[in-house]
Amino acid sequence: MSWWEAHRPSKRKLIQLYSALLYNAHLRGFIDGEIYQGKAKAVCVPGFNCYSCPGAVGACPLGSIQNALACSGHRAGWYVLGIIMIFGLSLGRTICGWLCPLGLVQELLHKIPTPKIKKSRVTRALSYLKYVILAVFVVAVPMWYGVRHDLAVPGFCKYICPAGTFEGAIGLLSNPKNTSYFAMLRILFTRKFVIMIIIGTACIFCYRSFCRFICPLGAIYGLFNKLALISVKVDENRCNGCGACVRSCKMDVRHVGDHECINCAKCMGACNQNALSLRCGNHTLIAPACGCADDREDSAAKRAKNGKIGWGVALAVLCFALLWFNVLDPDLPKSQAADTPGNTYASSAPIGTAIGNQLADFTAEKLDGTQFHLADHRGKVVILNMWATYCGPCVQELPEFESFQKAHADDVDVFIIHASDPLEDVPEFLAKKGISLPCAIDSDDDRIYTLCGANPSILPHTVVLNRSGEIIYNQTGSMTGALLDELFEKAK
């Protein structure tokens, strides 16, 4: 056997790599250090992939369902519930075994040569822990904060998720352009970083530790496993009940196809009776060595032909996705020089978003129907705060801006701009919180956020202009009263 034959990746590994690349097709995000904000981001991908990853072109279903539950007091999350059901009924935990990038990472970590922990009654008991995590961090915490406190707190994403730490936080922080984000790091990031290291280390010694013991998304898909269209099936006429399939499986399964089975089809190699196959309804996707009992003479040839056609279509889709999300998509950010209306400021500084530049002039319609025109506020210190009702830190700092505006009404104008995708009634929300600051909702193309250099996915973001309209502060992160006082003195 040649080296390549001994080490070449299996079809499943190739599909896992393909899924990881397709989910993160926005490759320029890793270069620019920015998150993709196109319309495709509203669509959930099947597997576990963080929304905040610079390359992510879709939303994580787990994060989406937490946000939907947090807003359940205001609106029903039918889309998220529907898409989860579609994924579950069509694929079940086949998503975990074939389409989840985090599953691939866990399997690669497990290949590191060390003593391994084998499955046992203890690991089987621990496999139910993920249902507890699902109930507490995915359901209870978001609903509690959403209904009780009007805050969107995705409990699992905020307190546990290793994908969010690795793909989102580290993915952004590793880019030199995002050094200002380090000022946002607090003890919460340190805790999540430690959790990520612990989970990653556990995966080295214990096969798919996160998938087996922690992952709430796998817990959800496991509930659909017996009903899923695609799954490993047992030919009862061939099976002799020897149990080799269960013994060879590294997951905590009790029988093929139960809620712990990820349909990886590895058990097919352990079955001496050739009784196992991966099927989609009546169609065989992967057959045992001698074929299925209901095969015809040309069944093997048809499977080979369909496999080649499938790979051809998949590669074409991937090439188009890479071209679209990196070059063709009209939602990709444009050069700011193309959207800078006439320079009416007294300052001679160039227009831009860096410290010392003038901020490009803009006009926005406030919630009360009047207009906010930036150039009309020359002579005052202008504070622009980008926020959203579903952003906990944003909501917590609004009273700081309210108090500061009242204390410096003659010298300061504070203007808050909500992200373009409000999940609830913004005027009602502000009234309930007692906030009277002038507010606008950004346009669908995030025009104001783009002019300010803000990212709607990383909030809050604040821009402070001196009396000449020049930027003295432009940063993502929470604001305090002390910092506002310091910036005011600098801007005077």
- What length does the chain have? 492
For residue 490, the tally of other CB atoms under 10 A from its CB is: 12
Is 484 domain-assigned? yes
Domain co-membership, 97 together with 184: yes
Distances (CA, A) of 190 to 129, 169, 256: 23, 11, 40
Is 28 domain-assigned? yes
Q: Which residue has the tokens 């990383």?
A: 458
Domain co-membership, 99 together with 219: yes
pLDDT score of 344: 41
Give the CATH number of the domain where residue 471 resides: 3.40.30.10
pLDDT score of 323: 96
Range 242-269 burial, b when 16+ CB lie within 10 A, else e: eebbbeebbbbbeebbebbbbbbbbbbe
* 3-state SS track over 304-344: HHHHHHHHHHHHHHHHHHHHHHHHHCCCCCCCHHHHCCCCC
CA dihedral sign of residues 55, 61, 65, 68: positive
Range 360-387 burial, b when 16+ CB lie within 10 A, else e: bbbebebeeeeebebeebbebbbbbbbb
pTM reported for the whole predicted model: 0.77
pLDDT score of 73: 66
Please state, in angstroms and rounded to a whole number, the distance separating the CA atoms of residues 177 and 334.
17
pLDDT score of 436: 94
Is 310 domain-assigned? yes
Given a contact cutoff of 8 angstroms between Cβ atoms, the answer to whether 345 and 375 are in contact is yes
For residue 125, the tally of other CB atoms under 10 A from its CB is: 11
Number of domains comprising the chain: 2
Phi-psi region of 35 (alpha: psi -120 to 50; beta: other; left: phi over 0): beta
> Which among 134, 156, 143, 137 has a CA at the least distance from the CA of 73?
143
Domain co-membership, 164 together with 234: yes
Is 455 domain-assigned? yes
Given a contact cutoff of 8 angstroms between Cβ atoms, the answer to whether 16 and 102 are in contact is no
pLDDT score of 33: 87
Domain co-membership, 236 together with 376: no
> Kind of pairing, strands 439-441 and 412-418?
parallel
What would the pLDDT profile of 279-323 be if each residue is shown by its tens digit? Answer: 998 899 999 988 888 888 888 899 999 999 999 999 999 999 999
Is 334 domain-assigned? no
Please state, in angstroms and rounded to a whole number, the distance separating the CA atoms of residues 355 and 467.
14
Q: Which residue has the tokens 């995966």?
A: 203
Question: Token pair of 290, please?
Answer: 């001698």
Domain co-membership, 124 together with 262: yes
Domain co-membership, 250 together with 389: no
Low-confidence ranges of the chain (pLDDT < 50): 335-345
Domain co-membership, 304 together with 377: no
Please state, in angstroms and rounded to a whole number, the distance separating the CA atoms of residues 7 and 460.
47
Domain co-membership, 17 together with 146: yes
How is residue 358 annotated by DSSP? Answer: B
Domain co-membership, 312 together with 366: no
What range defines the domain where residue 485 resides?
352-491
Domain co-membership, 309 together with 362: no
pLDDT score of 332: 80
Is 274 domain-assigned? yes
> Which among 210, 218, 251, 277 has a CA at the least distance from the CA of 87?
218
Is 331 domain-assigned? no
Domain co-membership, 214 together with 165: yes
Domain co-membership, 129 together with 240: yes
What would the pLDDT profile of 262-272 be if each residue is shown by its tens digit? Answer: 999 999 999 99
pLDDT score of 343: 40
pLDDT score of 449: 93
Given a contact cutoff of 8 angstroms between Cβ atoms, the answer to whether 389 and 423 are in contact is yes
Is 406 domain-assigned? yes
> Kind of pairing, strands 381-387 and 412-418?
parallel
Give SS3 for 189: helix
E-only strand ranges, 220-379:
230-234, 276-280, 283-286, 363-365, 371-373
CA dihedral sign of residues 312, 323, 24, 444: negative
> Which among 398, 402, 373 has a CA at the least distance from the CA of 386?
398
